[in-house]
């Protein structure tokens, strides 16, 4: 076909971010505004540009221009906050741009979370029609592909069973089948947002590669340079809401890997985050602030890539400005799909019980053993809260992003298993006991 599937001209999106979220102060301010000039206040809310006290504007996307041809599979790369997800949200019409135009030649749809619109009390049949209706398909259109969906998902006699009674395998077969059959000319895939089932996204993408690649245009957002390199023909690199590079997937992936930001730092999240006094997450009462978080190996070197056979530590630092109630440090490990893989608290092994933390800087390490994490990308959230009330807390989601690799070193959990390891967040070393001895 070779003609244009998508044209973006001067696209921009502005957000207003509130610096002060003290609701009472905001209420007084808003109320005063209302009394002083009610008409203008209401109109500005209507226009969607009402500003609240201390609000700042922030351009998530600015002056984007590009064209995508039919059949291209385009990977969109960029670090957190570069505007990738905003771009996809605009293109899939979840939100509107502030300026500019996007022209789409064909139907467009997002491949998202498994069965986002499914209702568990409804049967598979009802869910398929409901899904079709939400995607704007008529009953007749759905009728046409209904049998195919059922056949493909191998549900057979369970067509009229409520999906809450399905096994997870049946459920995901149905969801996959629905997603594969209600396909659009242009498919938008946000691997980062597709929480819950990265395997599902992979399966859809490989199906697309095998079967329906002809004329299928795909926009693919991912943290994983590997998936972009493997699946895409072209790459677009975003930084601070602008396109900074556009080329083949391999070129862009390399550029992304080696790219640095304006301060000369790598644009991939580093193995260490240190907060200044100003930008540190702190308790609302300002008694405690986070200072730093880093991933360190046994030689105390900060790194953000580890082999599955390696052990490492997450080191956290915080400052108690005014001693108060008992504190509890939490670390949450999220997998690439955004699902919480596990969490860990500091309440077992520290001199914790019943003590008030004295003022000053505190540092502690949480050891992640070898053979725990599976290969993949993990995002770490560092939270500090009062315990047991949790009414004061400070949190830093995504403060570290770690890559766990599998170089197939000896002594790993995989043993002599030579095929790909299984897709799951963890790969623990578990003991197997045998009743009968092996006879040579």
Partner 1 sequence: MSTSVENTIAPKDGPRSPVIEIRPPTGWRAPSIRELWAYREMVYFTIYRDVKTRYTQTMLGPLWAVLQPLITMVIYSVIFGMFARMPSDGIPYPLFVYAALVPWTFLSTGLNTAIGSLHGNFTIITKIYFPRIVLPVQAVLGGIVDLALSLVILLGIAAWYQQPLTPRLLLLPLFLIPGVLAVAGLGLFLSAMSVQFRDVRYIAPHLTVMWMYASPILYPRSVMPAAVREWAALNPVCTVVEGCRWAFHAGEIAPWPWLAGSIGVSVGLFVLGGAVFRRLESNLVDVL
Smallest separation (angstroms) from partner 1 to the CB of 85: 11
Q: Find the helix or strand (DSSP H, E) in which 176 lies.
A: helix 168-181
Which one among 47, 263, 278, 419 touches partner 1, defined by CB under 8 A?
47
Q: Which of 139, 165, 286, 300 binds partner 1 (CB under 8 A)?
A: 139
Q: Which two tokens stand for residue 26?
A: 């905001």
CA–CA gap between residue 70 and residue 406 (Å, rounded): 36
Minimum separation from the CB atom of position 132 to partner 1 (A): 8
Footprint on residues 101-120 left by partner 1 (CB under 8 A): 101-110, 112-113, 116-117, 119
Instruction: State the minimum distance, in angstroms, from the CB of residue 217 to partner 1.
Output: 13
51 is a contact residue toward partner 1 (CB under 8 A): no
Of the residues 75, 77, 78, 98, which one makes contact with partner 1 according to CB under 8 A: 98
* Shortest distance (Å) from residue 352 CB to partner 1: 38
Q: Which of 63, 126, 297, 375 binds partner 1 (CB under 8 A)?
A: 126
Identify the DSSP state of 346.
S
Taking the complex as a whole, how short is the minimal distance between the CB of residue 107 and partner 1, in angstroms? 7
C-alpha 81/C-alpha 73 separation (Å) is 22
CB of 363 to partner 1, least distance (A): 38
Binding residue for partner 1 (CB under 8 A) from 135, 146, 152, 342? 135
Q: Are 193 and 334 in contact (CB under 8 A)?
A: no
* 138 makes contact with partner 1 (CB under 8 A): yes
Query: For partner 1, which residue of 26, 53, 122, 280 counts as binding (CB under 8 A)?
Result: 122
Does the footprint of partner 1 cover residue 90 (CB under 8 A)? yes
| DSSP helix/strand/coil, 291 | strand
Q: Which of residues 332-351 bind partner 1 (CB under 8 A)?
A: none
Contact status, residue 188 vs residue 179, Cβ threshold 8 Å: no
Alpha-carbon gap, residue 165 to 175, rounded angstroms: 14
Taking residue 63's Cβ as centre, other Cβ atoms within 10 Å add up to: 14
The secondary element (H helix, E strand) that includes residue 295 is: strand 288-296
By C-alpha distance, which of 375, 8, 9 is closest to 219? Answer: 8
Using the minimum distance from each CB to partner 1, give the nearer residue, 58 or 417: 58
- CA–CA dist 112, 176 (Å, integer): 10
Asked if 3 interacts with partner 1 (CB under 8 A), we say yes
Query: How far is the C-alpha of 344 from the C-alpha of 364, rounded, in Å?
Result: 13
The answer to whether residue 97 forms part of the interface with partner 1 (CB under 8 A) is yes
**Smallest distance, Å, CB 108 to partner 1?**
7
Binder among 62, 72, 92, 259 for partner 1 (CB under 8 A): 92
Residues near 50 by Cβ (< 8 Å), separated by ≥ 6? Answer: 41, 44
Check: CB of residue 10 under 8 Å from CB of residue 64.
yes
Residue with tokens 């609302």: 284
Query: Which residue lies nearer to partner 1 by CB, 92 or 172?
Result: 92
Q: Please report, as ranges, the residues that interact with partner 1 according to CB under 8 A.
A: 3, 7, 15, 45-48, 50, 89-110, 112-113, 116-117, 119, 121-122, 126, 129-130, 132-139
């Amino acid at each position: 076909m070779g003609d244009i599937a998508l044209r973006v001209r001067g696209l921009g999106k502005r957000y207003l971010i509130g610096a002060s979220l003290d609701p009472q102060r905001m209420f007084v301010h808003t109320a005063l505004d209302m009394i002083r000039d009610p008409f203008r206040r209401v109109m500005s809310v209507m226009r969607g540009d009402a500003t609240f006290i201390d609000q700042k504007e922030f351009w998530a996307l600015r002056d984007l221009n590009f064209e995508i041809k039919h059949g291209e599979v385009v990977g969109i790369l960029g670090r957190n906050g570069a505007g990738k997800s905003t771009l996809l949200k605009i293109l899939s019409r979840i939100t509107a741009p502030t300026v500019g135009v996007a022209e789409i030649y064909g139907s467009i749809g997002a491949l998202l979370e498994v069965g986002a619109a499914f209702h568990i009390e409804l049967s598979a049949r009802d869910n398929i029609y409901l899904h079709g209706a939400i995607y704007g398909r008529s009953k007749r259109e759905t009728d046409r592909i209904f049998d195919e969906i059922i056949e493909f998902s191998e549900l057979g006699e369970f067509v009229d069973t409520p999906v809450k009674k399905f096994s997870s395998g049946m459920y995901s077969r149905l969801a996959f089948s629905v997603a594969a059959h209600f396909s659009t000319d242009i498919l938008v895939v946000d691997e980062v947002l597709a929480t819950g089932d990265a395997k599902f996204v992979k399966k859809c993408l490989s199906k697309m590669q095998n079967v329906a690649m002809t004329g299928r245009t795909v926009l693919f957002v991912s943290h994983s340079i590997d998936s972009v390199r493997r699946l895409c023909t072209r790459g677009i690199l975003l930084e601070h809401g602008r396109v900074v590079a556009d080329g083949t997937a391999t070129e862009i992936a390399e550029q992304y890997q080696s790219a640095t930001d304006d301060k000369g730092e790598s644009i991939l999240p580093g193995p260490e985050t240190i907060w200044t006094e100003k930008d540190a997450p702190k308790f609302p009462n300002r008694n405690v602030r986070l200072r730093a978080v880093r991933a360190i190996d046994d030689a105390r070197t900060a790194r953000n890539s580890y082999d599955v056979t390696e052990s490492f530590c997450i080191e956290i630092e915080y400052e108690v400005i005014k001693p108060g109630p008992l504190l509890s440090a939490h670390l949450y490990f999220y997998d690439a799909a955004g699902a919480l893989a596990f969490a860990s608290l500091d309440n077992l092994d520290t001199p914790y019980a019943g003590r008030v933390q004295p003022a000053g800087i505190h540092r502690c390490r949480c050891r992640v053993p070898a053979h725990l994490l599976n290969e993949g990308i993990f995002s770490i959230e560092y939270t500090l809260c009062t315990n047991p009330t949790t009414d004061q807390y400070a949190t830093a989601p995504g403060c570290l992003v770690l890559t766990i690799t599998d170089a197939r070193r000896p002594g790993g959990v995989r043993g002599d298993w030579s095929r790909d390891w299984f897709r799951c967040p963890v790969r623990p070393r578990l003991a197997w006991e045998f009743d009968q001895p092996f006879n040579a």
